[in-house]
Amino acid sequence: MESNSEDSMPDAPKIRRRKVDSDIDMPSGHPHRASTRPESSWDVSARLVLPAVNKDIGLTAQHPEFQAVLRDTMSIIKIYMWFDDAYPLMASRPGFCRPHLITAAQARGAVHILERLLKDPAFGAILAPILCDRMNLHRANVKRCAVSCVLAFYKLADLAPDQVKTHIEELLKDHRYIFSVDSEPFNHGSIRFVLKEEILSSASFVTQNIDRFPAKAATAHKPILHEVADPMVAIAATAVYAALVEYRMTGQRQNIPFTEDAYEDTYRNHMSSLRDLRTRYANALHQRFHELFKDTTYVFVSSVNVLLLTFH
């Protein structure tokens, strides 16, 4: 197959390994950093209700406006993960989280919380672990979804443990688990399942963020053709990989934590492959991921397209 053809996809993407430096996840029960001023000096809405020693900060213990800003920030970061980078590269965790906290406080008009974020550097550092824990939870939920489907999609349930081990090795070789039955990369049923049942399961998430999805502009005769974002596909494929690896040693599932250190390289490799495919087969990949978008966003996608056509 000619490499410069835009009409079809290659038989296999090239998976390249690239080491990416990242912070190590902070453990639960981390020491709380001291604020630069007494809590009582801040407006009540911006005061931290600190937990007992060696306990995590409780979200529901905070002022209602403070809770709302934190929840808004969690939503902003989730959007960033699924549309930009599921494993954000950070010089520091507070440095990554603080701008998102500021954005959320500004959008909500939480002037006292915004004031503290701008004046008290320790404030963002205290809150960063809460937000990073939520990122870990989002990724863990994707992996749990993958665990629930790999037995069926890869026909492992009826195999003896030794047969499972052999089959797993075959699937992991050259990342064959990402291919559909007709050898389409990143189109295996397990990846589609994870996208549909976890990452894109919320109708409101899709409709509220429809303009963030990659798309070709509408014309007089064609609707906007949205497609799934590459980080969504890459994290779904990474979760499937992690679920399969749990059967590798014994042929029976052994739970392996879905940690950043263990699986970020796999995610980066998938992202690299997707960039290569977009460079070499842009039209074919757009069409493939548009079909994937339609297949994984349930029925509400059709109404979204109608609305978008109305305003274009």
pLDDT tens, residue by residue, 126-173: 999 999 999 999 999 999 999 999 999 999 999 999 999 999 999 999
User: Does residue 301 carry a pLDDT above 60?
Assistant: no
Among 236, 240, 234, which Cα is nearest to 151's? 240
Q: Which of 135, 164, 179 is the last residue of a domain?
A: 135
125 and 201 fall within a common domain: no
Tell whether 2 is covered by a domain.
no
| Stretch among 35-49, 127-141, 213-227, 271-285 having the lowest mean pLDDT | 213-227
Among 94, 87, 93, 89, which Cα is nearest to 259's? 87
Q: Give the bridge partners for 215, in sequence order.
A: 226
91-131: per-residue pLDDT in tens? 899 999 999 999 999 999 999 999 999 999 999 999 999 99
Tell whether 28 is covered by a domain.
no
Q: Which of 92, 116, 135 is the last residue of a domain?
A: 135
Among 130, 138, 137, which Cα is nearest to 49's? 130
Dist CA 226 CA 210 (whole Å) = 8
Q: What is the mean pLDDT of residues 266-270?
A: 97
Q: Is 214 helix (H, G, I), strand (E, B) or coil?
A: coil
127 and 236 fall within a common domain: no
Dist CA 106 CA 237 (whole Å) = 36
The overall pTM is greater than 0.75: yes
Q: What is the length of the chain? A: 312
Tell whether 18 is covered by a domain.
no
User: Does residue 234 carry a pLDDT above 50?
Assistant: yes
149 and 293 fall within a common domain: yes
Domain count, the chain: 2
DSSP 8-state assignment for residue 23: P
Domain of residue 227 covers: 138-311
258 and 274 fall within a common domain: yes
Tell whether 13 is covered by a domain.
no
Q: Which of 135, 153, 188 is the last residue of a domain?
A: 135
144 and 292 fall within a common domain: yes
Tell whether 240 is covered by a domain.
yes
- Which residues are CB-contacts of 222 (< 8 A; sequence separation ≥ 6)? none
Dist CA 221 CA 201 (whole Å) = 30
